[in-house]
Amino acid sequence: MANLEELIRSVAVANQELYISILDDAAAMEGCDASIPTILRNVAELRMDVKFILVDLQTIMGVCFATDKFYEKRYHLKNLYAGMLEGYKLLYGFGNMRRRTIWARIGDDLKRAIDENSAQQSFYTGLKANYDTITQKLVSIESTKTDRDDRNLTYHYDDDLLLVYRLTLKTDSEEKASLRYIEFMKILGSMLEFANQIEVVEAFLGKVLPAGNGRHDDIALLIVKKVAESLGNHSKMQEVLSEAIDKGATQLDSYARYKQDVIKVEEYVEKKIKIKTEIPEFGIMKDLLDVQMMVSFMMTDMATILRGFVGAGSKVEYPLTLRRLTISRVSTLNHLISYRKDDSESMWSGIMAVIPPEKETLMDEALAIKSELRSMRKPGDLDKRSLYVHLIDNHKYHSNIPAIVKAMEDVTILSELQMSQDVIKLCGRISRCLAKLMNVLSENAKKAREESDRELKKRFNDIRELTNHPNCPRVFMDSIREQMNELEKIIIMS
């Protein structure tokens, strides 16, 4: 354990040093003018991107190794896989966007240099060979469509929360994640070494990057760190977060099992009893359970993020971890209420549609929750969440790292703590409201069934009365009564 703690501390120190270097690379990029070859500017961007990915992934691995809770480990491993895929996308891309990524641009730079510098062609030919070797390694670890779908479930959740739940359960192998992580990190290291080789060749030819002197708001980072340390020093806070994770994980397991049971019954009715018409009760129950799972996911994820936040090891790791609160909060609200002006298709609007009209108190509570959900949608939420998720601008095809760093160094990032706390409180209220609604629907279903049973019993008795006619054959009378008795046993439950 002591060795692990020492390793985590060492990584924290390395992350802080890498962060300063990221700022230097960004400053060097901004200082380039027309006299600086494009390849050097691209080299500075490549180094900046690679170092940010390194810091981000190392931060995730640090909090993953520091916990012994299964849910926390699974959450961090999900984000590790998603972070590696997002980093891969930034550097090398997928499909048609690949030709416009930073790695492709450097490849084009090398081809031009070989064509335009016959005297120094051997230098660039050697660099191109190294470039091709790294490219082959990138190709060898390219993710599958399933990996990309899993990344979407990690960052966006899904209307069907069973998909997210199953992803969480399957992401449980630290060894498998570590092997993939190490393989990717080796490639990132090769890229940094390769970038340095290009810079050496260009310097030999008299072209150098301007000196990087990246300035950053160290005061803002220090304030965020102090807030995290203050929260972490309260034993009650740690206790509350730990209990929230355990409770949330238990609730998720319970709701997931319940929904799986509903689906099994639904499938049985369709396949075995051959009822083809849709039974609304099944859909309503699944929708209710999805919202309960959404609330449980958000509360458990946020508690996990906060535990990672208060336990971070360097100034850069605090806001880097805190940004995930924004991702979780905005993704949850987008499902529960939607950020569209018309939120009639949102989860909560669907829930309100099944509240019985006579339950006025419950409807008033649901309306109040809807109003509060709407008030929690802040201007710029979607843009900020998108920035924190996407390391590359999908429309302009350039790195988002400078903008992410700027957002991280804005002390207002701490406002996310209060906003997330408000959402967590509301989600507790939502959960209680749903519990009441489930009881109401269950009671109504019971009453409807009892009424149906009474009606069926009356029909069966009417048929039995017909067999009392004097002209009814005895054998027919016995057969009909026997059939009525059997049907009554099968159909009538009460």
For range 290-301, the mean pLDDT:
91
Query: Cα(408)–Cα(272) distance, rounded to whole angstroms?
Result: 57
Query: Cα(219)–Cα(410) distance, rounded to whole angstroms?
Result: 10
Reported as a pLDDT band with limits 50, 70 and 90, residue 6 is confident
Residue 204 pLDDT greater than 50, yes or no: yes
For range 193-214, the mean pLDDT:
87
Query: Cα(280)–Cα(294) distance, rounded to whole angstroms?
Result: 21
Residue 492 is predicted with a pLDDT of 52
Q: Are 102 and 49 in contact, with CB atoms under 8 Å apart?
A: yes
Reported as a pLDDT band with limits 50, 70 and 90, residue 45 is very high
138-147, 212-221, 234-243, 472-481: segment of lowest average pLDDT:
472-481
The residues, any chain, with a CB within 8 Å of residue 182's CB and separated by 6 or more, are: none
Residue 493 is predicted with a pLDDT of 47
Instruction: Say which residue, 442 or 374, is predicted with more confidence.
Output: 374
For range 64-85, the mean pLDDT:
91
Instruction: Say which residue, 268 or 233, is predicted with more confidence.
Output: 233
- For the chain, the maximum distance between any two Cα atoms, rounded to a whole number of angstroms, is 118
Reported as a pLDDT band with limits 50, 70 and 90, residue 150 is confident
**Of residues 85, 100, 41, 45, the one with CA closest to residue 397:** 100
pTM for this entry:
0.86
Residue 153 is predicted with a pLDDT of 78
Residue with tokens 């708001």: 217
Which residues are paired to 399 by β-bridges?
392
Residue pLDDT, tens place only, 328-374: 999 999 999 999 999 999 999 999 998 998 999 999 999 999 999 99
Residue pLDDT, tens place only, 56-71: 999 999 888 888 899 9
Query: Cα(157)–Cα(295) distance, rounded to whole angstroms?
Result: 11
The share of the chain scoring above pLDDT 70, in percent, equals: 86
Residue 217 pLDDT greater than 80, yes or no: no
Residue 87 structure tokens: 């980093």
Q: Are 427 and 75 in contact, with CB atoms under 8 Å apart?
A: no
Burial of 345 (0-12, 13-18, 19+ CB in 10 A): exposed
Residue 445 is predicted with a pLDDT of 64
The share of the chain scoring above pLDDT 90, in percent, equals: 48
Residue 432 structure tokens: 């209680």
For range 93-113, the mean pLDDT:
91
Instruction: Say which residue, 326 or 269, is predicted with more confidence.
Output: 326
A 10 A CB-CB count for 164 gives 22
Any idea where the domains of the chain sit in the sequence?
Answer: 2-216, 223-448, 451-491
117-126, 127-136, 199-208, 468-477: segment of lowest average pLDDT:
468-477
Which residues are paired to 392 by β-bridges?
399
Residue pLDDT, tens place only, 378-415: 999 999 999 999 999 877 788 999 999 999 999 899 99
Instruction: Say which residue, 116 or 347, is predicted with more confidence.
Output: 347
**Of residues 448, 279, 280, 414, the one with CA closest to residue 350:** 280
Residue 238 is predicted with a pLDDT of 84
Query: Cα(22)–Cα(479) distance, rounded to whole angstroms?
Result: 87
127-131, 140-144, 328-332, 383-387: segment of lowest average pLDDT:
140-144
Reported as a pLDDT band with limits 50, 70 and 90, residue 103 is very high
Reported as a pLDDT band with limits 50, 70 and 90, residue 10 is confident
Residue 316 pLDDT greater than 70, yes or no: yes
For 19, 146, 347, 432, the CA distances from 279, given in Å and listed in that order, are 56, 32, 20, 26
Residue 19 pLDDT greater than 80, yes or no: yes
Residue 408 structure tokens: 């991280």
User: Whole-number mean pLDDT of the chain?
Assistant: 86
Reported as a pLDDT band with limits 50, 70 and 90, residue 273 is low
Residue 182 pLDDT greater than 90, yes or no: yes
For range 322-332, the mean pLDDT:
93
Residue 159 is predicted with a pLDDT of 74
Residue 22 structure tokens: 């990221």
Residue 276 pLDDT greater than 60, yes or no: no
Please write down the HEC assignment for all residues of the chain. CHHHHHHHHHHHHHHHHHHHHHHHHHHHHHCCCCCCCHHHHHHHHHHHHHHHHHHHHHHHHHHHHHCCCHHHHHHHHHHHHHHHHHHHHHHCCCHHHHHHCHHHHHHHHHHHHHHHCCCCHHHHHHHHHHHHHHHHHHHHCCCCHHHHHHHHHHHHCCCCHHHHHHHHHHCCCHHHHHHHHHHHHHHHHHHHHHHHHHHHHHHHCCCCCCCCCCCCCHHHHHHHHHHHHHHHCCHHHHHHHHHHHHHHHHHHHHHHHHHHHHHHHHHHHHHCCCCCCCCHHHHHHHHHHHHHHHHHHHHHHHHHHHHHHHCCCCCCHHHHHHHHHHHHHHHHHHHHCCCCCCCCCCHHHHHHCCCCCCCHHHHHHHHHHHHHHHHCCCCCHHHHHHHHHCCECCCCCCECHHHHHHHHCCHHHHHHHHHHHHHHHHHHHHHHHHHHHHHHHHHHHHHHHHHHHHHHHHHHHHHHHHCCCCCCCHHHHHHHHHHHHHHHHHHCCC
Reported as a pLDDT band with limits 50, 70 and 90, residue 494 is very low
Q: Are 298 and 427 in contact, with CB atoms under 8 Å apart?
A: yes
Q: Are 317 and 76 in contact, with CB atoms under 8 Å apart?
A: no
Residue 53 pLDDT greater than 80, yes or no: yes
Residue 490 pLDDT greater than 90, yes or no: no
